[in-house]
Amino acid sequence: MKINITTKNFELTPSIREYIETKMNYLDHFIEDWISAGSVELDFDAGRDTNHHNKGQVYYAEANLKVPGTMIRVKKSAENLRAAVDVVKDVLAEEVKKYKEKGR
């Protein structure tokens, strides 16, 4: 699966890139058929929200998974970027399962 990663208000380090890619590659076993057909792309956006009403750092992670027939979008926020990525992975996996169960 091709993963495009963009960031906002922080630097994308190699360790963060690897973390995001590892977590998103977890989805591969749910979408193997689509990947082999070459019809899957994931746009992943991560950033630090500078105008958040809470004190401290607030990070967001957003994934837009393009699969045959639709795009599945998940966006979550957390005080830690890795926590936001984890939640996005879990919710995205559930959404993919639901979509596949519909018979698409």
Q: Please spell the DSSP secondary structure of 19-70, one letter per residue.
A: HHHHHHHGGGGGSHHHHHTT--EEEEEEEE-TT-SSSS--EEEEEEEEETTE
4-44: per-residue pLDDT in tens? 999 998 899 999 999 999 999 999 988 888 888 888 999 99
pLDDT at 54 over 80: no
* Residue 74 structural domain: 2-101
Query: CATH no. for residue 14?
Result: 3.30.160.100
Q: Is the distance from CB of 77 to CB of 56 less than 8 angstroms? A: no
Cα distance between residue 90 and residue 74, in whole Å:
10
Cα distance between residue 102 and residue 71, in whole Å:
15
Cα distance between residue 42 and residue 16, in whole Å:
16
Higher pLDDT, 33 or 62: 62
49 falls in which pLDDT band (50, 70, 90)? confident
What domain count does the chain have?
1
Whole-model pTM: value is 0.87
Instruction: Give me the pLDDT at residue 69, please.
Output: 87
